[in-house]
Structure 1
Amino acid sequence: MYEPIRTKSVDRMQADYPHRSREEELDIQLAGHLSALLAVTDELGLDEAGERIAEQVARLRGAPPARHAGLTTADPGVLHRRAHAIAGRALVVAASRADTAAAILAAERMDVHSAALEPAGAH
């Protein structure tokens, strides 16, 4: 009376695709945030900080990151605000995956960019 189902159920179809663990997803997300922070850091010309960030990206991805080669004429204040926001996102992800090294680095970068945005003599 009823036609038999001839296709796989959705549950069985999903089993055919590889799934990443939560930790793998967080690693990918953290590496992405740190890569974005690296691009802004390179744009600001902060070489030492860039090297530290690149080390963390390489650790997470297993390969060294592509580096931003040239400086732009972007306003440094805008770049520091962008870097501060990106470092904040990296800190949240690093904390959720319990990555102490990346969390410390992100917090340090937030402090540096926050200080760069303060008016001279305002402490």
Structure 2
Amino acid sequence: MATVGLKTTQYSVLANVAREALPVAELAERLGMERTTLTRNLKPLMDAGWVVPRPGADSRQRIVTITEAGQQKLAESYPVWCGAQRAFEQLVGREAVRALHTQLESTLAQLTPLIEDLPHAHPE
């Protein structure tokens, strides 16, 4: 199967933007990443024409929206993503994958309050 030119993090961002156009800050929160990290991940997606920032209600707010080209890239990437998921599950086993997801969710739940309390999490 041909490579589709998306990193795993970019696929995740593109898939989430396809579900719902969101402000950058809200999308970063949903993805569990810093805004600056999300901005770095959005740049190649914007450069490729797969997502665009639209003005929000507030002039400082940017709503990340998927384009038709982005929808096509996502559709092209989906079978590759599913194949990678299946290969990983076959390698480590379904129960190990479930346990990994459970551990990651638990860890994120524990870390989120700590991350939100960091000084850089609330720029003035």
Q: Same fold (TM over 0.5)?
A: no
TM-score (norm 1): 0.31
**Which has the higher Rg, Structure 1 or Structure 2?**
1
